[in-house]
Amino acid sequence: MPPRRNRIPNEVRRRIVRAFENPTEDYQSAADTLGVKRSTARSIEATYLREGRGKERPRGGRNNVRVDSEMRD
């Protein structure tokens, strides 16, 4: 089984995005302060620029499928 990766909390993601938007702050030094790898901070910043979101996508949830008689057979 592959090792489980630690997820970056949404609050930390928001702080990195705020540091990126602020011209007087450096988002990489903010990532160092928060204990996040620089490559992860660059990935968060790239996702923010590409998709406009600074938080993680929701995962999991219900998978509703209507089962009809053809599927049962």
Name residues whose C-beta falls within 8 Å of residue 31's C-beta, 6 or more positions apart in sequence.
16, 19, 37, 38, 40, 41
In a domain, 71, yes or no: no
Q: Contact at 8 Å (CB) between 39 and 16?
A: no
Mean pLDDT: which of 5-9, 19-23, 49-53 is highest?
Answer: 19-23
Give which of 8, 3, 1, 4 is closest to 39, Cα–Cα. Answer: 8
In a domain, 5, yes or no: no
In a domain, 3, yes or no: no
Mean pLDDT: which of 33-42, 52-61, 62-71 is highest?
Answer: 33-42
In a domain, 63, yes or no: no
Q: Quick one: DSSP state of residue 65?
A: -
Q: What pLDDT score does 2 carry?
A: 65
In a domain, 40, yes or no: yes
Q: Quick one: DSSP state of residue 72?
A: H
54 versus 40: which is more confidently predicted? 40
Q: Domain range spanning residue 40? A: 10-51
For the entire predicted model, the pTM comes to 0.65
**Average of per-residue pLDDT across 10-18:** 88
Name residues whose C-beta falls within 8 Å of residue 15's C-beta, 6 or more positions apart in sequence.
30, 34
In a domain, 68, yes or no: no
